[in-house]
Amino acid sequence: MIYLSNQKKGLIKMNLVNIVGQIEGDATVAYTSKDGAKKFYKFIVKVPKPYKSKEVDSFDYINIKTWSNAVDDEFLLHDQAVVGIEGRIESFTSNNDLTNIRNEIFANRILYLN
């Protein structure tokens, strides 16, 4: 049984996603805090689709963003690293154009699996 504490006017607020995949390319540092203690990373995770084409494997490529103060992250978020991501989905549109929605995951937790 799931109990949700963030209910308001009958709406349930739940935005949680977990994925496991392989980093495609190295992570880039998009921003560093003024004191240099935290870095904002952006990278792409390649996740296999649940079905396969007869000719090739199919993948989703998901944009990930995260803040980190761990020194090792710069070396661990590298090409082909297998990671588990826990976070929330953020959606963006340009000029409220609902035909062009962009989704990405803001990671709260990253597990290094290899």
Q: What is the pLDDT of residues 40-66, one digit of tens each?
A: 999 999 999 887 777 777 899 999 999
Q: How confident is the model at residue 75 (pLDDT cuts 50, 70, 90)?
A: confident
Question: Which pLDDT belongs to residue 2?
Answer: 47
- 7 falls within a domain: no
- 6 falls within a domain: no
**Residue 94 is part of which domain span?**
14-112
Output the CA torsion 66→81→91→35 (10° steps). Answer: 10
- 1 falls within a domain: no
Tell me how many domains the chain contains.
Answer: 1
- 84 falls within a domain: yes
Report the half-sphere exposure of 78 (CA within 13 A, side-chain side): 5
pLDDT digits (tens, 9 = 90+) for 12-46: 668 899 999 999 999 998 888 888 788 899 999 99
Q: Which two tokens stand for residue 14?
A: 């739940």
Mean pLDDT of the chain: 84
State the residue for tokens 């090739």.
Answer: 56
Domain at 49, CATH number: 2.40.50.140
- 37 falls within a domain: yes
- 5 falls within a domain: no
- 53 falls within a domain: yes
Which segments within the chain are labelled E, that is strand? Answer: 7-8, 11-12, 17-32, 39-48, 59-68, 82-93, 101-112
- 76 falls within a domain: yes
